[in-house]
Amino acid sequence: MSELSLQISLMIFEAAFAAAVLLALFSARRVLGLASIYTTVGVFYYLATLLAGTTFVKVAPGLLLSPGSVALFPACLFAVLLVYIREDAKEARSMIYGLLAANVTASLLGLAVVQHLRGPLAVNPLGLPPELFVQSPRLFVVGTLALFADTILIILVYEAVSRVLRPLLLRIWTSLALVLVFDTLLFVTGGFIEHPAYFEILLSGILGKIAAAAVYAVALTLYLPRAGADEDAHASLGDLFHVLTYRQKFEALRAQAARDPLTGVYNRGFCDELLNSQIASARRSGAAVAVMMVDVDHFKWINDTHGHAEGDRALRVIAQALAGVVRASDVVCRYGGEEFCLILPGTLLDSATLLAGRICEEVPAACARENVAGGARITVTIGVAAYPGDGVNAGALIRAADQRLYRGKHAGRDRFVAA
């Protein structure tokens, strides 16, 4: 193996190892809590900053890659995206604030360490340069601004990309790559615009981070479909590592009570409560809220022909298909019988209509993959409505979506109606 191949392989390994560590800690969060992943991300960010200013590998003429910026910095955005997708925006926001606090704290402590090394009483047997512990004020400001912008953008870009791209791998890679390119443009321009090698530094960072984004995207894509089952398994390991507080027990029971026992999605009671809350919030902020009523076509035929057990399996497969299509911020509920309700916060009618079209394609495909009802084509009819145009309260919005649903039924089923 040539030296170049070795160096590139090492950076790929570093990215894959960082992703594996973060995924392992995240999977164990029921035992360890999220503090362990926050701390690890802080360490990765510190190492990324340190290496980005001290260590480079020449992979081609005029092309220098730093293991810090290429392999480790994307791990921070990877972690924010992971927490956002599998937990919620609140936890992702906590991580963002933690990273900013860690960056400021490390920089201030670095200034103190430099004073030790430069003092007349300093003993430095390893000959460490003071510059190793402190960034220039300019790079500190640019880096902090870039970090804050990146961690916010990764969520916004992922949501925007998810409306356009369907494959999970492509969504994650595109989101990471776009934000990392933005980070490189902001950081390199802010810190090195007058440097003679500005364009070489910029190109190196962009190419390296786009490649690293692919490694992290593959890791997250492989992890997410398996995450639910793996995490459920942790709860059976015994009380030794799962001693719940009263509040944890209460929250677990509350979450369980809000779920439909057959499909695992939320139930009608939770749906009604959440929709009222979302409309009240939208009324205050001026945002939109969309609702879909999704009904399984010819469901009685499935029960009569293949039995109620197969009908139940069909509902579970369809519920999983719906949950797999929507965003992390959207909510899937079983409204009753073979009818589902989807609540889409911050979504306009046009965007909800596009999603309805994707659902009409995905449900038959998912049922075919699982050979539901002996391979018969299973379809759905959808009614779409949005606040405030179609109703100013939850009841009016549900009625509007229901009316459109039944218009779709009368028009021949296997379709969506949004007007």
Could you read off the pLDDT of 280-296 as tens digits, one per residue?
Answer: 888 877 889 999 999 99
Q: What mean pLDDT do residues 255-260 have?
A: 78
Cβ-proximal residues to 295 (8 Å cutoff; 6+ apart), any chain: 338, 339, 340, 380, 381, 382, 405, 409
Whether 245 contacts 103, CB under 8 Å: no
User: Does the reported pTM lie above 0.85?
Assistant: no
Domain chopping of the chain, boundaries: 3-234, 249-417
C-alpha to C-alpha distance for 184 and 32, rounded to whole angstroms: 33
Q: 4 falls in which pLDDT band (50, 70, 90)?
A: confident
Backbone angles phi, psi at 317, to 5 degrees: -65, -45
What are the angstrom distances between the C-alpha of 322 and each of 15, 23, 27? 32, 25, 24
Mean per-residue pLDDT of the chain: 85
Q: Which of the residue ranges 37-46, 79-88, 133-142 would you say has the lowest mean pLDDT?
A: 133-142
Please state the φ and ψ torsions of residue 71, each to the nearest 5 degrees.
-95, -40
What's the confidence (pLDDT) of residue 241? Answer: 34
Task: Specify the residue for token string 């402590």.
Answer: 109
- Could you tell me the two tokens for 56? 């480079």
Q: What are phi and psi of 335, to 5 degrees?
A: -85, -25
Q: How many whole angstroms separate alpha carbon 124 and alpha carbon 114? A: 11
CATH number for 249-417: choose from 1.20.1090.10, 3.30.70.270, 3.40.50.150, 3.30.420.300.
3.30.70.270
- Which of 281 and 236 is assigned the larger pLDDT? 281
Other Cβ atoms within 10 Å of 408 Cβ, number = 25
Asked if pLDDT for residue 309 goes beyond 70, the answer is yes
> Residue 133: its pLDDT value, please?
67
* pLDDT tens track for 113-127: 778 877 788 887 877
pLDDT of 99 > 60? The answer is: yes
Residue 402, CA distances (Å) to 74, 381, 385, 392 in order:
44, 10, 9, 15
